[in-house]
């Protein structure tokens, strides 16, 4: 029996989405009706498609079995994607085992937010999601494929791949993750050195050694940021082989899960069953949101969930997330919300434990049409090798109650994210990472337009007081809505000194955002006269996760907005001018591509 609030929110989303969902389903019905019957494609076209296929040419020529598209976001600058280097060769072998063929349909960009944090390149990060969606569309446009597997893990990459793939939603699809790197330097130690460096008490060499001890080898970074939240959501939506999210690269179990993904997509393609567009429906989107709340996942997904939902004709907003959060308990604490990382999470029971708990408590939809298994119940189990054969079993009780707890005895009775709203707009507050004693901060504000200016003021001792730091003109239309993760160490130092500190911004914080109370993604953004553009130093600002308030006592009605800043160029930022011009608000997903397409 599904919780009544979850049922109510889901039904509201279904009703709200009726026109757009019906249009989307009509689109994929039309596209599916065209059918990829390659015998009807011209011989010249086919020759181009078959020319590089080598030993698969004969199978393609005789239409011997399904042809699976591989869309890869491989590069070896991004540690999480480095293991994908050899995947095309392996996936082709697995396809042949199942009487199918596989071709690399195309590649997509895959930038690393960890590399661009605090740098000019971060202004391209959010828009890379739409670029990835477009690249996925190009890859799948060749009318050669009967199904698809999507190789991507990190930040904007999974949402982008999903948005692009959904426009080809008449085909079955699965995501194929590659798994996290081994645990390195403890998260507590890493945070300690970062704060010492922010205070000038650790050298750059010491900081670099600490960071290299944490981020040290191929595989996904091990904190529960946007990348690992992506993997969690794909499990919650049934778009992985069950339990695939956090199995290590190169292990025998990892290889068997990869093999199972190709075999499963081949099976679905033959049967013309479970097309992606039918799997990603309102209930699947709600499941993704529930997983985010139950595990205290990345705040970035308050933007990505509305965006990929729109690509499937589903309309979800922050009020829906807030209402779901009121009844979804926090059952996991993974760094930065807890001490252990995703490897510890996986060893303690991982996604199988979380999904089993949520399903058994009626806190997730069990009737989602999963791609990777016949039903969602299998996602409440854990994969293992039974004498080299892939199998699933009950994960048992939590292996670490400081990391995972039953839904009946959670860490918090509500989810990890709240909506705050008022005369400064609407924003997201990640409550799962913040001590409840800091849920309400009311103090005079200090207004900045860049995170570097905040750092300078911190070093000058200008912020040693109770303060609400406002960083404005960081929204999608201003500069691409960069993450402002560099604010975390100095604001954390101020908080540790005993001051009441909060952040208010129309920008983003990383999935690694932590203990400082923050009202982020503030919408409408400051550019063009949003409320944040009217604030002045000294105005009293209140951020309250308890009452859901984001407001100032200042009279804004008589003020003139601060002038919009001129857009910066360099580092390719000028190439994204049309994206900034067309982007819509954060609550809708901040997608220029979807806005321009009328989706």
DSSP 293-345: HHHT--TTHHHHHHHHHHHTT----HHHHHHHHTTS-B-B--TTSSSS-HHHH
Q: Are 286 and 189 in contact (CB under 8 A)?
A: no
Q: How far apart are CA 284 and CA 368, in angstroms?
A: 6
pLDDT at 509: 84
Q: Are 359 and 237 in contact (CB under 8 A)?
A: no
Q: How far apart are CA 155 and CA 152, in angstroms?
A: 9
| Three-state SS at 372 | coil
As beta bridge partners, residue 220 has: 180
pLDDT at 423: 98
- Domains of the chain, CATH where assigned: 4-35+66-182+217-393 (no CATH), 183-216 (no CATH), 417-565 (3.50.30.80)
Is 221 annotated among the ligand-binding residues? yes
- β-pairing, 389-393 with 382-386? antiparallel
Contacts of 439 (CB under 8 A, 6+ apart): 431, 517, 544, 545, 546
pLDDT at 35: 60
pLDDT at 307: 98
pLDDT at 208: 75
Contacts of 398 (CB under 8 A, 6+ apart): 348, 349, 353, 404, 405, 406
| Ranges assigned E (strand) in 41-194 | 67-72, 101-107, 147-151, 173-175
Q: Are 420 and 549 in contact (CB under 8 A)?
A: yes
DSSP code at position 535: -
- Hey, CA dihedral for 53, 55, 58, 64, is it positive or negative? negative
pLDDT at 113: 87
| Ranges assigned E (strand) in 45-100 | 67-72
Is 428 annotated among the ligand-binding residues? no
pLDDT at 597: 96
CA angle 158, 163, 167 (to 5 degrees): 140
For residue 143, the tally of other CB atoms under 10 A from its CB is 15
Contacts of 121 (CB under 8 A, 6+ apart): 111, 115, 571, 572
Q: Are 81 and 152 in contact (CB under 8 A)?
A: yes
As beta bridge partners, residue 552 has: 541
| Three-state SS at 144 | coil
Q: Which tokens sit at 425?
A: 């707009």
pLDDT at 513: 57
DSSP states of 237-286 as a string? TT-SSTT-TTPPTT-HHHHHHHHHHHHHHHHHHHHT-S-HHHHSSHHHHH
Q: Are 533 and 522 in contact (CB under 8 A)?
A: no
Q: Are 401 and 344 in contact (CB under 8 A)?
A: no
Q: How far apart are CA 156 and CA 301, in angstroms?
A: 10
Flag residues of the chain having pLDDT under 50.
Answer: none
Residue tagged 């397409």 (tokens): 597
pLDDT at 33: 84
257-297: pLDDT as tens digits: 999 999 999 999 999 999 999 999 999 999 999 999 999 99
């Amino acid at each position: 029996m599904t919780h009544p609030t979850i049922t109510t929110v889901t039904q509201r989303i279904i009703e709200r989405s009726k026109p757009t969902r019906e249009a989307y389903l009509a689109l994929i019905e039309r596209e599916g009706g065209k059918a990829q019957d390659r015998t009807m494609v011209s011989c010249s076209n086919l020759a181009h498609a078959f020319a590089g296929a080598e030993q698969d040419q004969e199978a393609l020529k005789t239409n011997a079995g399904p042809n699976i598209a591989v869309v890869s976001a491989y590069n070896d600058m991004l540690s999480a994607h480095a293991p994908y280097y050899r995947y095309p060769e392996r996936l082709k072998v697995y396809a042949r085992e199942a009487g199918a063929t596989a071709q690399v349909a195309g590649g997509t960009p895959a930038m690393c937010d960890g590399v661009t944090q605090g740098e000019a390149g971060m202004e391209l990060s959010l828009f890379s999601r739409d670029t990835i969606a477009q690249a996925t569309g190009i890859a799948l446009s060749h009318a050669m494929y009967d199904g698809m597997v999507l190789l991507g893990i990190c930040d904007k990459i999974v949402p982008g791949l999903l948005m692009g793939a959904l426009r080809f939603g008449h085909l079955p699809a699965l995501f194929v993750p590659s798994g996290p790197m081994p645990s390195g330097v403890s998260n507590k130690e890493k945070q300690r050195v970062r704060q010492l460096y922010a205070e000038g008490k650790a050298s750059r060499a010491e900081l670099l050694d600490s960071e290299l001890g944490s981020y040290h080898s191929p595989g996904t970074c091990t904190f529960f940021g946007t990348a690992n939240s992506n993997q969690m959501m794909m499990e919650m939506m049934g778009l992985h082989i069950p339990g695939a999210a956090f199995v290590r690269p190169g292990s025998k179990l990892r290889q068997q899960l990869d093999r199972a993904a190709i075999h499963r997509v081949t099976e679905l393609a033959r049967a013309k069953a479970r097309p992606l567009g039918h799997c990603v429906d309102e209930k699947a989107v709600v499941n993704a949101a529930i997983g985010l709340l139950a595990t205290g996942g990345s705040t970035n997904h308050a933007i990505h969930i509305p965006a990929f939902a729109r690509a499937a004709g589903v309309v979800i907003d922050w009020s829906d997330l807030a209402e779901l959060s009121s009844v979804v308990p926090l059952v996991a604490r993974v760094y930065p919300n807890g001490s252990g990382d995703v490897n510890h999470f996986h060893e303690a029971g991982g996604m199988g434990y979380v999904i089993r708990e949520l399903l058994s408590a009626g806190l997730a939809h069990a009737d989602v049409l999963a791609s990777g298994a016949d039903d969602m119940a299998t996602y409440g189990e854990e994969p293992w090798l039974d004498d080299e054969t892939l199998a699933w079993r009950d994960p048992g009780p939590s292996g670490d109650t400081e990391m995972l707890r039953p839904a009946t005895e959670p860490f918090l009775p509500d989810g990890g994210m709240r909506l705050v709203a008022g005369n400064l707009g609407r924003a997201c507050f990640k409550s799962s990472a913040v001590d409840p004693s800091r849920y309400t901060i009311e103090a005079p504000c200090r207004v900045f337009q860049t995170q570097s200016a905040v750092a300078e003021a911190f070093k000058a001792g200008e912020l040693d007081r109770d303060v609400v730091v406002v960083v404005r003109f960081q929204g999608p239309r201003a500069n691409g809505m960069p993450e402002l993760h560099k604010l975390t160490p100095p604001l954390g130092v101020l908080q540790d000194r005993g001051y009441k500190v909060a952040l208010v911004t129309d920008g983003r914080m990383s999935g690694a955002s932590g203990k400082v109370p923050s009202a982020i993604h503030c919408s409408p953004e400051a550019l063009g006269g949003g409320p944040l553009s009217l604030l002045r130093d000294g105005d009293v600002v209140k951020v309250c996760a308890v009452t859901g308030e984001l407001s100032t006592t200042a009279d804004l009605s008589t003020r003139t907005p601060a002038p919009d800043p001129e857009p910066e160029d360099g580092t390719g930022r000028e190439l994204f001018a049309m994206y900034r011009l067309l982007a819509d608000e954060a609550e809708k997903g901040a997608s220029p591509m979807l806005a321009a397409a009328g989706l």
